[in-house]
Structure 1
Amino acid sequence: MKNKSLYLYSFNQRKGIFLLLLVMIFTQAIYFFWSSNTTPQKDKENHQWLALQSHVDSLKQVKEEFKPTIYPFNPNFISDVKGYRLGMSVEELDRLFAFRKQNKYVNSAKEFQSVTGVSDSLLAVISPYFKFPDWVNQPQKEYVKFENKISDVKPKTKIDINLATQEDLIKVYGIGPALSERILKQREVLGGFASMEQLAFVWGLNPDVIENVNKSFAVVSTSGIKKIKINDLSIKELSKFPYFNYTIAKEIVTYRSMKGDIQNIEDLTKINGFPVEKLKFIALYLEF
């Protein structure tokens, strides 16, 4: 009965059923071949992607583990680049630069934070690398005060600054080998100090250290000072004097040629650009 039921359809109906079967078979064949060809390709791409991802993950791990080496440094001389690398903001760096323009220095981590305004967390990270001058880190000397019950105690005799040795200078709190060498070099160039106030122009000596020096030293002898004849020397010769430069030497010669010899200290104040703040001890090196 089932075989006979097939012949109940017309020729066109049987033809349509046959074509439908062919289309279904053809579709299944295409899907089979397409999936078999693309799967290996996808597997290959997935394998490559996984390999690349593992490499990226390893690079991330290296980056996370990498920490730049920080060497000890003086926080007074932090540059823009170094400050950025340390994590400081532009505002914090500007505060430090403004403070330094006043010729002031920070001498502790606490003072650095007070000036810059950096956070406690950042200070805790970078402050272990702060390196201040030796005299800053030296412990403060403790002095015991005694009542002077002896009326005839003689005051301590001060050492002549023009005869002092490097060993003498290093004994002063706040002076190390570098500062003592600068003082001696300046003394050699001048032929001797004419006034203790000249120490203020030695680079690196702050007021506290100068006060300590004045407690132990004084200008006693000025015999080694070589005076210069301000009215006889040329521009080149005048410019060799430590407190003059070429411009000032030229102004001095111009003044002489226009108004005659320089007679006294008052005439020096009339010279354009003359360092009047140093006048009272510059005059001690001049012959009019």
Structure 2
Amino acid sequence: MWRKLTRWIKQAFHFSNRESNGLLAMITLMLLCIIAPKVYKLYYTYTHKPLDHSAAIAFLEKKLTLLQANSGKVSLININTATPEALQEIEGITAQLAVRILRYRNKLGGFICFDQYKEVYGLSNHLQTRLIKRTTICTYYRPKKLSLNQASFKTLVAHPYISAAMAKAIIDYRKRAGKFITLHTIQRLPGYHANWGKKIMPYLTL
């Protein structure tokens, strides 16, 4: 292409080869002087363009705020899966008390409400309040159940809510009627009262 341009200049202006080459070189140099600064300016602008970190900074600040907010919170202990060691992390709960709480939990078949903490022997009102604040009972927790039609007298009477008299009444009803058809049949048992029925019902099955 350089030779074609040289030949064209030579023919158009009747220049010698040296003059044609010199003119072409001058034109090329002029073009470079005009174009080069613009190319450099574009390159500099692109390579030195400040990056926008505002979104990343905002995200990190949000995470930091959440971490600071949660740093003062104490994780709750699931009372129905807790170990004695876990309960002893609560101020005032001794090793003996922790074992007693969990032993009562196992006899019940699991805690279904915080009011049941009042039933644990030796647990003061102050410790009950502290236990409520530091523990949780899962909304969908289902306690271990006793079968009205299959449980033995020994199994029935071992439950904290079933007295020996009530256990005998359940066994006698089975002998007399064959089996319980519905859970509400317990209302026919001697000694039944509504408050007791409300407490024991979540722990019963047919």
Kindly indicate whether residue 198 of structure 2 is the aligned counterpart of residue 280 of structure 1: yes
CA distance in 2, matches of 1:269, 1:201: 24
Alignment-mate amino acid for residue 208 of structure 1:
H
Which residue, out of 121, 124, 141, partners 1:206? 124
Given the two structures, how large is their TM-score scaled by the length of structure 1? 0.40
Is 1:195–1:281's contact at 8 Å kept on the other side of the alignment?
Answer: no
Go from structure 1 to structure 2 and tell me whether the alpha carbon gap of 1:175 and 1:222 turns closer, same or farther (over 3 Å shift): same
Kindly indicate whether residue 180 of structure 2 is the aligned counterpart of residue 261 of structure 1: yes
After TM superposition, list the pairs within 5 Å mapping 1:16-35 onto structure 2: none
After TM superposition, list the pairs within 5 Å mapping 1:34-49 onto structure 2: none
Which residue, out of 88, 106, 111, partners 1:193? 111
Go from structure 1 to structure 2 and tell me whether the alpha carbon gap of 1:269 and 1:172 turns closer, same or farther (over 3 Å shift): farther
- Alignment identity in percent? 31
Residue number in structure 2 paired with 1:244 = 162
CA distance in 1, matches of 2:188, 2:110: 27
Shift of 1:228: 1.6
CA distance in 1, matches of 2:135, 2:189: 34
Deviation per CA, 1:5-32: give whole Å up to 9, x if none.
xxxxxxxxxxxxxxxxxxxxxxxxxxxx
Go from structure 1 to structure 2 and tell me whether the alpha carbon gap of 1:268 and 1:183 turns closer, same or farther (over 3 Å shift): same
Go from structure 1 to structure 2 and tell me whether the alpha carbon gap of 1:246 and 1:214 turns closer, same or farther (over 3 Å shift): same
Residue number in structure 2 paired with 1:168 = 86
Alignment-mate amino acid for residue 180 of structure 1:
A
Which residue, out of 141, 144, 151, partners 1:233? 151
Alignment-mate amino acid for residue 126 of structure 2:
D
After TM superposition, list the pairs within 5 Å mapping 1:25-174 onto structure 2: 153=69, 156-174=74-92
Aligned length: 137
Unaligned runs of 5+ in 2: 1-64
Go from structure 1 to structure 2 and tell me whether the alpha carbon gap of 1:178 and 1:277 turns closer, same or farther (over 3 Å shift): farther
Alignment-mate amino acid for residue 261 of structure 1:
F
Shift of 1:259: 9.6
User: CA-atom RMSD, angstroms?
Assistant: 3.2
CA distance in 1, matches of 2:127, 2:156: 32
| Dislocated runs of 4+, deviation >6 Å | none
Unaligned runs of 5+ in 1: 1-149
Using CA pairs below 8 Å that are at least 6 residues apart, which structure has the higher relative contact order?
2
